[in-house]
Amino acid sequence: MSTYPENNLAWQVLDHASKNGYAVGAFNCYTLECILGAIRAAEEKKSPCMIQVFPWSMHFHGREFIEYVSKACHSASVPIAFCLDHCIQESDVELALTMPFDCIMVDASSKDPEENIKYCKKIVDIARTRGITIEAEMGRIIGSEDGVPMVDMEQLFTEPDLANDFLKRTGCQYLAPSFGNIHGPYPEGGPEKYWQLDRLAEIRKAIPSNVQMVLHGMYPVLPDLLKKTIEAGTLKLNVNNSIRIPWQDFMAEKGSRLEMTAMAEQSVEIFKNGVGDFMDFLGSSGQSWK
């Protein structure tokens, strides 16, 4: 029997990707239709993937829903890891550690660096006893749906040596680096102007080889740049807006004119198609080992 973290599904999904030369989509889901769409896409494409929810789901949908999603992911015909994205409140992290997630992203990047290290180490120690792996953010990936000014961004970037020190001391399995990426819309010039791929490659070189890097803030990003980001060593790509927005547009346009059953079915289809296309792009299609 393998030991932690080799026995953890999120770890296995990224380990397989790193050994077989492809990247993995981590799809942010807000409703049951999104979850079903992502699972069905993964099964049709025979692609490993990750499905993520925000802490909001733990509170709004509740424990039973989280347990259901975990079961649905784990009983799929392909490997699907279930993750919690951006867990900021300490009480949410504590709650999440009692739920069946494969991975929890602990976002303590607003703490000062030493405090962030101590805190993340403590969480990893608890998570290890429960078979859960941990993604951490270093530097700070800023932004919101309203956009943010780019001033003072430099000081929020991840420093390669500090990242290595952070990972060695905390034992986190995945790193979300800050290299000019932000959440929400980019100012003029877009990611092409702000992303420092050299820094990303330096971070990849500096950190332990068994730690995988995660891309946050990839909307809107041109496919060429995304490919370069993967080449620079990013393996887990968090996908939210680029699939969610067409799905929301569909519901805004058609929702009121369809029967509930038809709307549910068609919205699953829309989400599924978005996820499936992205799996083809990443090269994860056909990579299932289950």
Q: Which residues bind Zn ion (CB under 5 A)?
A: 216
Q: Could you tell me the smallest distance in angstroms from the CB atom of residue 86 to Zn ion?
A: 6
Q: Could you tell me the smallest distance in angstroms from the CB atom of residue 216 to Zn ion?
A: 3
In the bound state with Zn ion, the residue whose beta carbon lies nearer, of 20 and 144, is 144
What H or E segment, with its residue span, contains residue 236?
strand 234-239
Task: Report which residue's Cβ sits closest to Zn ion.
Answer: 216
121 exposure class (CB count in 10 Å sphere: 0-12, 13-18, 19+):
middle
In the bound state with Zn ion, the residue whose beta carbon lies nearer, of 76 and 105, is 105
Amino acid identity for residue 98 in this structure: T
Residue tagged active-site, from 85, 92, 102, 107: 85
Contacts for 43 with CB less than 8 Å, ≥ 6 apart:
76, 77, 78
CA atoms in the 13 A half-sphere facing the CB of 213: 26
Q: Could you tell me the smallest distance in angstroms from the CB atom of residue 107 to Zn ion?
A: 8
Annotated catalytic, 280?
A: no
DSSP class of 23: -
In the bound state with Zn ion, the residue whose beta carbon lies nearer, of 28 and 196, is 28
Q: Could you tell me the smallest distance in angstroms from the CB atom of residue 19 to Zn ion?
A: 25
Strand partners, 26: 50, 238
Shortest CA distance to 30 belongs to which of 240, 277, 251, 250? Answer: 240
In the bound state with Zn ion, the residue whose beta carbon lies nearer, of 216 and 272, is 216
Catalytic residues: 85
